[in-house]
């Protein structure tokens, strides 16, 4: 879906500039609508403010596509208010204080395809994460992610890698945390509300003290039941950081949760798919669970931000972030 919003005097200049470019971000992330009309609203999330801008336009007006000449049967479309959609998404976000999950994990990077069994531990709403990957009863890697710092032990290389943020190519723990513990919308941010026949979309916008308004995440929910279907996360520059797709929900001990989650990192051409088998809330974890114990003689490597080597599976494409 592509289009433009004209100048709107009641909205801040930064939001107008972003609205003009919004559909470009959506198209770059592979988004699109199929309805014969669409609606877009800019919503202030700040407490004490109460303005909603609504601009419903036909495809012919905003360039969402050609004029459809096909005859369509009338459909019953469920109507949701922006506030109802925001509340529904936020209710789906808060994870338990701790969780344990087992999954078959499929990893693809270029020509490299790997499949392994993973055991995932998460605590403090995703601030602490541990993932152990096994294949044929052999540990491929063991990694922890505490706040923004990660440690990865690769036994076959007798090497431990340490770093923070996106400083290595491969399975990023931030994506695992984002997939299993989605972020709720921030009250101080603004939200663009879009809808069509099949889905409603919330685009969260933020701005720093001197930075222009930029997208934080884009959330896709089913119009029928407001279940989460997809989240697109962005860098402050507007570049897509990761695209997360959620499958149908299943019943686990920890409650209903999507049984299949696919994470795409387009800038690294990496796709990771989690097929959840167990998802439960365990008793309290041991205090040292998120601190790796390294075998004697293990080599330690501190990673910089421009490392292009896949430290888990030993491939390199010669590119950098």
pLDDT confidence of residue 268: 80
What integer is the mean pLDDT of 151-160?
92
CB 148 within 8 Å of CB 294 = no
pLDDT of residue 270 exceeding 70: yes
pLDDT confidence of residue 93: 86
pLDDT confidence of residue 178: 86
pLDDT of residue 201 exceeding 70: yes
How far apart, in whole angstroms, are the C-alpha atoms of residue 249 and residue 204? Answer: 24
Residue 286 is given by DSSP the state: P
How far apart, in whole angstroms, are the C-alpha atoms of residue 305 and residue 321? Answer: 7
- State percent of the chain over pLDDT 90: 42
- State percent of the chain over pLDDT 70: 67
Alpha helices in 54-109 (DSSP H): 59-62, 82-91
Encoding tokens for residue 215?
A: 């997208």
How far apart, in whole angstroms, are the C-alpha atoms of residue 306 and residue 189? Answer: 31
Average pLDDT, the chain: 76
Residue 69 CB coordination number (10 Å): 5
How far apart, in whole angstroms, are the C-alpha atoms of residue 182 and residue 216? Answer: 13
CB 305 within 8 Å of CB 146 = no
Encoding tokens for residue 169?
A: 């190519």
What integer is the mean pLDDT of 78-98?
88
CB 247 within 8 Å of CB 258 = yes
Encoding tokens for residue 178?
A: 């984002």
CB 226 within 8 Å of CB 85 = yes
Band (pLDDT 50/70/90 cuts) for residue 39 is low
The sign of the torsion formed by the CA atoms of 23, 26, 32, 38 equals negative
pLDDT confidence of residue 303: 81
Domain with CATH 2.50.20.10 in the chain: 98-182+246-302
Residue for token pair 């919308």: 185
Band (pLDDT 50/70/90 cuts) for residue 314 is low
Q: Is 10 helix (H, G, I), strand (E, B) or coil?
A: coil
pLDDT of residue 137 exceeding 80: yes
pLDDT confidence of residue 61: 34
pLDDT confidence of residue 174: 76
pLDDT confidence of residue 267: 81
CA distances from residue 266 to 108, 121, 233 in whole angstroms, order as listed: 12, 26, 11
Band (pLDDT 50/70/90 cuts) for residue 36 is very low
Band (pLDDT 50/70/90 cuts) for residue 89 is very high
Name the CATH topology of 98-182+246-302. Answer: outer membrane lipoprotein receptor (LolB), chain A (2.50.20)
CB 100 within 8 Å of CB 283 = no
Question: Between 155 and 96, whose confidence is greater?
Answer: 155
pLDDT confidence of residue 285: 92
pLDDT confidence of residue 126: 80
Question: Between 10 and 193, whose confidence is greater?
Answer: 193
């Amino acid at each position: 879906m592509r289009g433009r919003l004209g100048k709107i005097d009641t909205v801040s200049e930064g939001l107008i500039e972003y609205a003009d470019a919004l559909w470009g971000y959506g198209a770059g992330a592979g988004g699109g609508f199929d309805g014969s009309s669409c609606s877009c609203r800019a919503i202030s999330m700040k407490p004490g403010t109460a303005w909603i801008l609504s601009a419903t336009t036909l495809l012919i007006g905003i360039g969402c596509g050609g004029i459809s000449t096909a005859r369509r049967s009338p459909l019953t479309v469920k109507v949701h208010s922006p506030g109802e959609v925001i509340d529904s998404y936020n209710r789906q976000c808060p994870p338990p204080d701790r969780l344990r999950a087992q999954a078959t994990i499929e990893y693809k990077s270029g020509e490299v395809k790997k499949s392994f069994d993973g055991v995932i531990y998460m605590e403090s709403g995703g601030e602490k994460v541990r993932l152990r990957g096994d294949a044929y009863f052999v540990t491929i890697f063991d990694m922890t992610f505490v706040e923004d710092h990660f440690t990865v032990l690769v036994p076959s290389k007798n090497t431990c890698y340490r770093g923070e943020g996106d400083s290595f190519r491969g399975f990023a723990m931030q994506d695992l945390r984002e997939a299993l513990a989605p972020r709720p919308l921030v009250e101080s941010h603004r939200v663009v509300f879009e809808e069509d026949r099949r889905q409603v979309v919330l685009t969260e916008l933020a701005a720093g003290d001197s930075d222009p308004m930029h997208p934080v995440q884009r959330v896709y929910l089913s119009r029928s039941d407001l279940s989460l279907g997809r989240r697109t996360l962005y860098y402050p520059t507007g570049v897509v950081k990761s695209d997360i797709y959620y499958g149908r929900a299943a019943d686990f001990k920890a409650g209903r949760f999507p049984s299949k989650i696919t994470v795409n990192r387009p800038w690294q051409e990496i796709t990771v798919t989690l097929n959840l088998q167990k998802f439960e809330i365990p008793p309290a974890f041991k205090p040292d669970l998120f601190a790796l114990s390294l075998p004697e003689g293990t080599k330690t490597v501190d990673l910089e931000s421009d490392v292009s080597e896949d430290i888990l599976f030993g491939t390199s494409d010669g590119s950098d972030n």
